[in-house]
Structure 1
Amino acid sequence: MTDSTLQSAAEVTADEFRTMMSGFPTGVSVTTTYLDGVPRGMTCSSMCSVTLDPPTLLVCLRFGSPTLEAIVKSGAFAVNLLHESARETAQLFASGNPDRFDLIDWEPVPDSAGPHLVRDARTVADCEVVLTQRVGDHVTVFGEARRITHPQPQPPLLYGLRQFRSWSQV
């Protein structure tokens, strides 16, 4: 790598990077947890598998978010992978609306790591936090899956080019 390559990388703006990443479609999830019995959650499109043994995934959450704080304190979270008809829920949990859990159907499943969005999730993974790592304005949270359920076997909701789409629209 030359010095000119390093200079070019340092000149990339947040808007340029956001535009580039918007062209990489991804699945949509709502990451949830409880803090002192109160549900917390946010839309998250930065989620991926890490390893099969042990079954581990990661989510990247904005530093300073109440959901991240609750996950770190509780040590557990649920990843609700949304199905193609759950666009409104994705938008609601991305909005920051403090009443979001009053506006959707969810269940406090016994021994779950966070609320299950039973109407909107195609799959839910209950995870235990095994590692967190701050990078810039986000924190990567690694979670070992302890249970996986499939409440709504429908195609997944996708996000790319700053739009939600269903798998069948692609």
Structure 2
Amino acid sequence: MTDPAIQTASEVTPDDFRTMMSGFPTGVCVVATDDYEGQPRGMTCSSVCSVSLDPPILLVCLRDGSPTLESIMKSGMFTVNLLDEGAQEVAELFASGNPDRFLMVPWERAPGAAGPHLIRDAHTVADCDVVLTQRMGDHVTVFGETRRITRRHAQHPLLYGLRQFRSWSRV
């Protein structure tokens, strides 16, 4: 006898997969860089993972065809801005595609930075150099060697799961 609460799909659709992954809460960041004209580019990303401690490598998975990914591929570097619990609006803004997003948030380009640092909304920023890319389906995995870490304030990460934002302190 089969439990009626168990659902099995014989063919997994993108919506099935998205729903499954929404049950795996994760941190939220803005991946950013500069384009070939020196203009900032960035997008919200929850697909971030540490890969290696020595050397310090992380990966981000970005939508193929995004202007941010294109700029990272050309510049060979990027920042990972780990968002603070109060930065839900920033996460939504950078997911929206609004071309004026960098006009709407405070940021800086510190000397030697790999891209824009969100000075109010990121509790920590990693500056990374691209060491490898791998295309898979509709995304590209970008591996970055972390060359500098900037901690701005206490870590109270913004989380995303079940299609909702939460703060670490409210979990």
TM-score (structure 2 length as normaliser): 0.93
SS for the counterpart of 1:111 is coil
Question: Quick check: 1:124 aligned with 2:147?
Answer: no
Match of 1:169 in 2: 170
The Cα offsets for residues 7-39 of structure 1, whole Å up to 9 and x where unpaired, read as: x88711111100000000000000000112100
TM-superposed CA distance for 1:152, in Å, is 2.3
> Structure 1's 40 and 10: CA in aligned 2 closer, same or farther, altered over 3 A?
farther
The answer (yes or no) to whether the contact 1:83–1:157 under 8 Å persists in 2 is yes
Residues in 1 aligned to 2:165 and 2:70: alpha-carbon distance in whole angstroms: 27
The Cα offsets for residues 47-100 of structure 1, whole Å up to 9 and x where unpaired, read as: 010000100000000000000000000000000000101111000000000000
1:104-119 to structure 2, matched below 5 A, reads: 104-119=105-120
Higher helix share: 1
TM-superposed CA distance for 1:151, in Å, is 1.0
Residues in 2 aligned to 1:109 and 1:144: alpha-carbon distance in whole angstroms: 18
Structure 1 stretches of 5 or more lacking a match? 1-7
SS for the counterpart of 1:142 is strand
Residues in 1 aligned to 2:109 and 2:126: alpha-carbon distance in whole angstroms: 14
Q: Runs in 1 of length 4+ with deviation above 3 angstroms?
A: none
Question: What is the root-mean-square deviation in Å for CA atoms of aligned residues?
Answer: 1.2
TM-superposed CA distance for 1:154, in Å, is 3.4
TM-superposed CA distance for 1:119, in Å, is 0.1
The Cα offsets for residues 95-152 of structure 1, whole Å up to 9 and x where unpaired, read as: 0000000000000111100100000001000000000000000000000000000012
- How many pairs does the alignment contain? 163
Match of 2:54 in 1: 53
* Paired-residue identity, %: 74
Match of 2:17 in 1: 17
The answer (yes or no) to whether the contact 1:30–1:43 under 8 Å persists in 2 is yes
SS for the counterpart of 1:115 is coil
Match of 1:90 in 2: 91
Residues in 2 aligned to 1:137 and 1:9: alpha-carbon distance in whole angstroms: 22
Structure 2 stretches of 5 or more lacking a match? 1-7
TM-score (structure 1 length as normaliser): 0.93
